[in-house]
C-alpha cells in the first residue's frame, strides 16, 4: 500500500536520496512492522537476519504475494528463534542472488550448521524456495540429502553438500525405507518427486528440440526409481497421491493403458482430498495438469492421423492466452504435444508457451526464474519469426520486463554489491540493444503512432513501452550516480550513436538526435507513443479481443502485451511526475503528458489513475478538461468528468465558473451566467455539450 508517513524505513529513506518517485513506497501491515525493532537494537551496524527477512516480506507484500512468506516469517521471529545465521544467509540469497547454491555451500562449512540443519522448518522453507525458483537440480540434491540425513539414525556425522551426488544413486530398497518415515513422506520426498519429474520432462524436451538422439534414460531411471520406491512403501495412499506422476512415467515408458488407469486414480484422489485449506493456486494447477493429461490420452487413443491432436494444441493455446501458465504445466504440454506427433507445430508452441510462462513469472515477482529460461529461447526465436507473429519482439519485451523487475527491486533496496550492479547494468544494456535492433528487423515499428489495425497497434505499443522503460532506468541510474564508469562510457560512446541512427528512422522521432539529453528525450518520446496508442490496444479480457482469430495468433498477441495498457499509462505517469519539477523548458510538456496518461488510465478504469488524479489538480489542467466538450472531445472526457463530479465535486466548481465567465465575456443581462451559457451553446449547435453540462 502507498505510504505517506514521514517516519520512513531506512530503505525507503535511502531510496529517496537516489530516486525521485519512480516507484511507489510500500510498508507492511502493522502486525508485521512490529518485527522491525529487532534490527534497531543492532548497535554494530551489521545487517541482521531480521533486516533481510523484513526486506523480503516488504517485497512480497508489494507484489501481492504476502501469503507465501509472512506467516512463516512472523512465526519464526515471534518464537524467538536463535537460527539467525541460516536466516541471514537465506535472506541474502533470495534478495540478492535468487540462488541458494553459494550461501548453502558456506553453511556447510559453518560449525553451527550441524545444529541448524536439523531444524525441519528451515529445511522445508529452503526446499520451497528452490521449488519456486525452478532450481530442479539443486532441489533434487537437497531434498534427497535432507531425507537421508533426517532418516538416518546412525550417521550422526553426515553433512549434506551440493557436491555430494551419491544420494542420487540410492538403491530402491533404501529409498523405500525413507518413504516409510511419515514426516519425510509428507514434507521432504514430495519435493524430490517433483524435481525429478521436471528434470525428466526438460530432458525429453531438449532432446526433441536438438533433433539429436540424446540419451535421456538416466533422467528417466532416476525418476522411475523414486516412484518405484514410493510404491514399495507401506503407505496406503502412496499410489493415488502420486497417480499423476505415475501416469506421466507410464507415458514416458509408452504404456498408455497404465497411464489411463493412473489418470482415473488422479481424478478420484483430487475429488477425495480437495480442501479449501490448501493452497488454492496449487490445487487448481493440479486439476489443470490432470485434465490436460486426460485430454492427451483421449487424443492418443483416436490414432495418429486424427484431428484430435491438433484440436488439443489449439485448446491449450487458447487456455494459455487466458490464464496464468506455470513451468510445470508448460513442460507437461510440450512433452504431450511431442508424443502426439505435432512436429511442425512443436517449435512455435514451445516458444509461445515459454514466453507466456516467463511473462507470468515476471508479473508474480519471480523475474529470476524468467531470466533463467529466456536466454535459452533466443536462438530458437529466429527460426519461427515468420508470418507476422513478431516472436522476436515478444522475446525482447519479456526479457526487458524481467530485467525491469530486477531493476525496481534494486531501486527499492539500493543494493550496493558491485557484482549485482554490474549484472543489472549488463542486463539492461542487453535489453536496450535487442529492442533497438527490432527497429531494423521490423519496418512497421517505424510507422506513426496511430492505430491502423489491432495487431499493428499492439506491436507499436509493446515496443514503445518496453524501450521507454529501459531508457528511463538508464537515465535514473545516471542521474543518481549509481551507473558505473564503464557503463556510462559505453552508453555515451557506443549505445548513443547506434540508438540515434535507429530512432530517427521512426516517424515523429527525427528530432531526437538534436536533444541535449538524448536518453531522457528518447524515453519521453517513446512514453508519448504509449499514451497515443493506449486506447487502441485492449487487454485480453476486453470485448474487442473477441473478434475471430486463431488460437496461435491470440497467444502471440498476449505475449507481446507484457504490460496492460493501464499499467503502461501509470509507468508514463510515474516517469513524468518525477521530472515535472525540473527545468522550465520541459516542464509544460511533462505536465501535459502526465495529465494525459492519468486521465486515459482513469478512462480505462484504472484505480491507479484515480489515486494519481490529485496530482492532476495541482497541474491546473482542469480548464482544458472542461473545454474539451466544446472542442468536439465530449466522447473522450464525459465519463472522466462524471467520475470527478461524483468523487471530487469541489474540484470542478472553480474551473466551471471560469468557463462560464470566459465563454460569455461577462455579458449576460437578465439571465444567470449558466442560462446565458446554455443558450449560447444551443445557438452554436452544441446541443450535446449543453445536455452534458446541464447534468
pLDDT in tens, 434-445: 999 999 988 888
Alpha-carbon distance 252 to 244, whole Å? Answer: 13
Domain count, the chain: 3
Q: Please calculate the CA angle 378-384-386 and round it to the nearest 5 degrees.
A: 125
State the average pLDDT for the chain.
Answer: 74
Q: Does a structural domain hold residue 448?
A: yes
The grid coordinates listed for 35 are 518485527
Backbone angles phi, psi at 481, to 5 degrees: 75, 15
Q: Does a structural domain hold residue 186?
A: no
pLDDT digits (tens, 9 = 90+) for 107-149: 445 444 444 444 576 677 778 878 877 888 888 888 888 888 7
Q: Which of these three, 563, 598, 633, is where a domain ends?
A: 563
Q: Do both 493 and 525 map to the same domain?
A: yes
Q: Do both 522 and 551 map to the same domain?
A: yes
Q: Do both 583 and 536 map to the same domain?
A: no
Alpha-carbon distance 302 to 282, whole Å? Answer: 31
Q: Do both 526 and 638 map to the same domain?
A: no
Q: What is the pLDDT of residue 247?
A: 94
DSSP string, 548-595: S--HHHHHHHHHH-SS-HHHHHHHHHHHHHTTTTS-HHHHHHHHHHHH
pLDDT of 539 above 70: no
Least confident of 191-200, 207-216, 244-253, 398-407: 207-216
pLDDT of 625 above 50: yes
Distance of CA 546 to the CA centre of its chain: 25
- Interacting residues of 164 by C-beta distance below 8 A, sequence separation 6+: 141, 145
Q: Do both 594 and 476 map to the same domain?
A: no
Average pLDDT over residues 92-112: 45
Average pLDDT over residues 150-170: 48
Q: What is the pLDDT of residue 578?
A: 80
Q: Does a structural domain hold residue 272?
A: no
pLDDT of 209 above 60: yes
Q: Do both 583 and 660 map to the same domain?
A: no
Q: Which of these three, 532, 563, 594, is where a domain ends?
A: 563
3-state SS, residue 2: strand
Alpha-carbon distance 521 to 65, whole Å? Answer: 36
User: Bigger pLDDT: 70 or 321?
Assistant: 321
The grid coordinates listed for 238 are 502412496
Average pLDDT over residues 567-594: 81
- Long-range contacts for 295-303 (Cβ within 8 Å, ≥24 apart)? 296/251, 296/336, 296/339, 296/340, 297/256, 297/259, 297/260, 297/263, 299/340, 300/256, 300/339, 300/340, 301/256, 301/260
pLDDT of 582 above 80: no
Q: Do both 474 and 613 map to the same domain?
A: no
pLDDT of 187 above 80: yes
Alpha-carbon distance 25 to 31, whole Å? Answer: 18
Average pLDDT over residues 486-500: 88
- 154: which DSSP letter? S
Q: What is the pLDDT of residue 23?
A: 38
Alpha-carbon distance 446 to 427, whole Å? Answer: 25
Band (pLDDT 50/70/90 cuts) for residue 687 is confident
pLDDT digits (tens, 9 = 90+) for 37-86: 333 344 444 445 545 555 555 555 455 444 444 344 433 433 444 444 44
Q: What is the pLDDT of residue 84?
A: 46
Alpha-carbon distance 358 to 369, whole Å? Answer: 8
Q: Do both 515 and 588 map to the same domain?
A: no
pLDDT of 541 above 60: no
Q: Do both 682 and 636 map to the same domain?
A: yes
The grid coordinates listed for 349 are 508452441
Band (pLDDT 50/70/90 cuts) for residue 176 is confident
Q: Do both 672 and 603 map to the same domain?
A: no
Which of 481, 384, 392, 479 minimizes the C-alpha distance to 433? 392
Q: Does a structural domain hold residue 380?
A: yes
User: Bigger pLDDT: 670 or 575?
Assistant: 575
- Interacting residues of 190 by C-beta distance below 8 A, sequence separation 6+: none
The grid coordinates listed for 310 are 491438433
Alpha-carbon distance 446 to 301, whole Å? Answer: 50
Sign of the dihedral through C-alpha 365, 4, 19, 573: positive
Alpha-carbon distance 320 to 322, whole Å? Answer: 5
Backbone angles phi, psi at 2, to 5 degrees: -65, 140
Q: What is the pLDDT of residue 471?
A: 94
Q: Does a structural domain hold residue 497?
A: yes
pLDDT of 420 above 50: yes
User: Bigger pLDDT: 164 or 149?
Assistant: 149
Range of the domain at 529: 358-563
Alpha-carbon distance 129 to 595, whole Å? Answer: 42
Alpha-carbon distance 420 to 403, whole Å? Answer: 12
Alpha-carbon distance 424 to 490, whole Å? Answer: 14
Average pLDDT over residues 28-42: 34
Least confident of 54-68, 240-254, 263-277: 54-68
Least confident of 55-59, 280-284, 350-354, 646-650: 55-59
Band (pLDDT 50/70/90 cuts) for residue 32 is very low
Burial (CB < 10 A; 0-12, 13-18, 19+), residue 160, is buried
Q: Do both 588 and 551 map to the same domain?
A: no
Which of 212, 199, 310 minimizes the C-alpha distance to 252? 199
Query: How many Cα neighbours within 13 Å face the side chain of 532?
Result: 16
Q: What is the pLDDT of residue 617?
A: 64
The radius of gyration of the chain from alpha carbons, rounded to an integer in Å, stands at 29
Q: Does a structural domain hold residue 421?
A: yes
Which of 594, 562, 544, 352 minimizes the C-alpha distance to 465? 562
pLDDT digits (tens, 9 = 90+) for 392-417: 999 999 999 999 988 887 775 555 56
The grid coordinates listed for 619 are 497541474
Alpha-carbon distance 356 to 350, whole Å? Answer: 10
Average pLDDT over residues 138-161: 67
**What's the whole-model pTM score?**
0.68
Average pLDDT over residues 628-635: 73
Which of 2-6, 192-196, 344-348, 416-420 has maximum average pLDDT? 192-196
Q: Does a structural domain hold residue 670?
A: yes
Q: Does a structural domain hold residue 136?
A: no
Q: What is the pLDDT of residue 303?
A: 65
Least confident of 259-273, 563-577, 639-653: 639-653
Tell me the CA distances in angstroms from 434 to 149, 422, 467, 524, 692, one per residue in order: 47, 18, 10, 19, 48
Average pLDDT over residues 338-367: 82
Q: Do both 525 and 551 map to the same domain?
A: yes
Amino acid at each position: 500500500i502507498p505510504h505517506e508517513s514521514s517516519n520512513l524505513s531506512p530503505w525507503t529513506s535511502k531510496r529517496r536520496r537516489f530516486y525521485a518517485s519512480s516507484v511507489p513506497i510500500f510498508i507492511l501491515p502493522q502486525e508485521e512492522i512490529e518485527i522491525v525493532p529487532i534490527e534497531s537494537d543492532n548497535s554494530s551496524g551489521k545487517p541482521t537476519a531480521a533486516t533481510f527477512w523484513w526486506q523480503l516480506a516488504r517485497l512480497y507484500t508489494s507484489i501481492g504475494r504476502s501469503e507465501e512468506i509472512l506467516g512463516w516469517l512472523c512465526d519464526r521471529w515471534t518464537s524467538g528463534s536463535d537460527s539467525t545465521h541460516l536466516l541471514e544467509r537465506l535472506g541474502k540469497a533470495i534478495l540478492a542472488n535468487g540462488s541458494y547454491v553459494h550461501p548453502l555451500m558456506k553453511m556447510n562449512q559453518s560449525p553451527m550448521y550441524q545444529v541448524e540443519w536439523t531444524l525441519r522448518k528451515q529445511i522445508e522453507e529452503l526446499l520451497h524456495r528452490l521449488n519456486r525458483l525452478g532450481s530442479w537440480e539443486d532441489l533434487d540434491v537437497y531434498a534427497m540429502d535432507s531425507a537421508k540425513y533426517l532418516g538416518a539414525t546412525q550417521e550422526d556425522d553426515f553433512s549434506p553438500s551440493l557436491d555430494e551426488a551419491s544420494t542420487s544413486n540410492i538403491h530402491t530398497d533404501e529409498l523405500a525405507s525413507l518413504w516409510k518415515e511419515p514426516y519425510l513422506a509428507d514434507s521432504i520426498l514430495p519435493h524430490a518427486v517433483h524435481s525429478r519429474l521436471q528434470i525428466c520432462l526438460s530432458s525429453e524436451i531438449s532432446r526433441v528440440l536438438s533433433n539429436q538422439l540424446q540419451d535421456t534414460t538416466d533422467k528417466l531411471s532416476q525418476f522411475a526409481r523414486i516412484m518405484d520406491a514410493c510404491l514399495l512403501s507401506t503407505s496406503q495412499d502412496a499410489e493415488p497421491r502420486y497417480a499423476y506422476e505415475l501416469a506421466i512415467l507410464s507415458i514416458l515408458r509408452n504404456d498408455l493403458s497404465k497411464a489411463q488407469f493412473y489418470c482415473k486414480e488422479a481424478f478420484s484422489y483430487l475429488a477425495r482430498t480437495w480442501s479449501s485449506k490448501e493452497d488454492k493456486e496449487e490445487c487448481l494447477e493440479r486439476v489443470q495438469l490432470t485434465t490436460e493429461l486426460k485430454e492427451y490420452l483421449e487424443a492418443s487413443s483416436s490414432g495418429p492421423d486424427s484431428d484430435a491432436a491438433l484440436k488439443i494444441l489449439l485448446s491449450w493455446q487458447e487456455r494459455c492466452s487466458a490464464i496464468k501458465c506455470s513451468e510445470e504445466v508448460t513442460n507437461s504440454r510440450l512433452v504431450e504435444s511431442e508424443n502426439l506427433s505435432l512436429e511442425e507445430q512443436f517449435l512455435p508452441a514451445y516458444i509461445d508457451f515459454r514466453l507466456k510462462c516467463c511473462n507470468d513469472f515476471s508479473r508474480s515477482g519471480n523475474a529470476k526464474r524468467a531470466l533463467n529460461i529466456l536466454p535459452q529461447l533466443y536462438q530458437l526465436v529466429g527460426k519461427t519469426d515468420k508470418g507476422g507473429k513478431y516472436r522476436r519482439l515478444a522475446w525482447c519485451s519479456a526479457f526487458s520486463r524481467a530485467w525491469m523487475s530486477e531493476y525496481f527491486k534494486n531501486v527499492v533496496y539500493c543494493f550496493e554489491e558491485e557484482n549485482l550492479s554490474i549484472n543489472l547494468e549488463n542486463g539492461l544494456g542487453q535489453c536496450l540493444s535487442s529492442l533497438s535492433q527490432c527497429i531494423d528487423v521490423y519496418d512497421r515499428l517505424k510507422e506513426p503512432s496511430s492505430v491502423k489495425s489491432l495487431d499493428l497497434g499492439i506491436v507499436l505499443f509493446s515496443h514503445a513501452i518496453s524501450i521507454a522503460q529501459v531508457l528511463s532506468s538508464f537515465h535514473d541510474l545516471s542521474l543518481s550516480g549509481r551507473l558505473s564508469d564503464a557503463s556510462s562510457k559505453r552508453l555515451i560512446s557506443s549505445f548513443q550513436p547506434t540508438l540515434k541512427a535507429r530512432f530517427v528512422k521512426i516517424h515523429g522521432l527525427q528530432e531526437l538526435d538534436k536533444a541535449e539529453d538524448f536518453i531522457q528525450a528518447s524515453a519521453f518520446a517513446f512514453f508519448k507513443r504509449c499514451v497515443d496508442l493506449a486506447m487502441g490496444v485492449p487487454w485480453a479480457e476486453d470485448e474487442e479481443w473477441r473478434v475471430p482469430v486463431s488460437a496461435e495468433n491470440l497467444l502471440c498477441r498476449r505475449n507481446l502485451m507484457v504490460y496492460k495498457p493501464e499499467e503502461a499509462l501509470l509507468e508514463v505517469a510515474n516517469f513524468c511526475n518525477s521530472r515535472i519539477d525540473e527545468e522550465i523548458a520541459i516542464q509544460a510538456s511533462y505536465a501535459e503528458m502526465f495529465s494525459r496518461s492519468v486521465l486515459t488510465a482513469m478512462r480505462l478504469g484504472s484505480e491507479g489513475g484515480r489515486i494519481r488524479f490529485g496530482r492532476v489538480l495541482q497541474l491546473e489542467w482542469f480548464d482544458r478538461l472542461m473545454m474539451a466538450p466544446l472542442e468536439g472531445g465530449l466522447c473522450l472526457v464525459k465519463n472522466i468528468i462524471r467520475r470527478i463530479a461524483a468523487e471530487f465535486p469541489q474540484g470542478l466548481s472553480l474551473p466551471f465558473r471560469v468557463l462560464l465567465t470566459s465563454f460569455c465575456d461577462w455579458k449576460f443581462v437578465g439571465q444567470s451566467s449558466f442560462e446565458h451559457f446554455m443558450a449560447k451553446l444551443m445557438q452554436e449547435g452544441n446541443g450535446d455539450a449543453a445536455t452534458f453540462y446541464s447534468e
